[in-house]
Amino acid sequence: MAATQKLYPRATVKRVVKAHSNRSLSKNADILIFLDYMLFMQELMRESSIQSRKAGEKNISPNSVRKVTERTLRKFKG
């Protein structure tokens, strides 16, 4: 898994966080932020797949993602 994965665009992540927080980032904080983002994605996909399965859909539908989004975001509220 980890070996196959490419590096994510660190500069972009940094810029996103910087824009939202209006603060500069320390050198390697973006790695951890991206790690947290990965956890968020994992949770989001997990929840949405559960949701879609509950709805009887074959694949993950955008609706299930949307339904789950708010819940998952609240779960990731620090």
**Residues sharing a CB contact under 8 Å with residue 31, sequence separation 6 or more, in sequence order:** 10
Taking CB under 8 A as the rule, does residue 22 contact another protein?
yes
In the numeric block, the tokens 């609706």 are attached to 63
What tokens were used for 14?
């940094």
Taking CB under 8 A as the rule, does residue 5 contact another protein?
yes
Taking CB under 8 A as the rule, does residue 41 contact another protein?
yes
Residues that bind another protein (CB under 8 A): 1-3, 5-9, 12-13, 15-29, 31-42, 44-46, 48-49, 59-63, 65-67, 69-70, 72-78
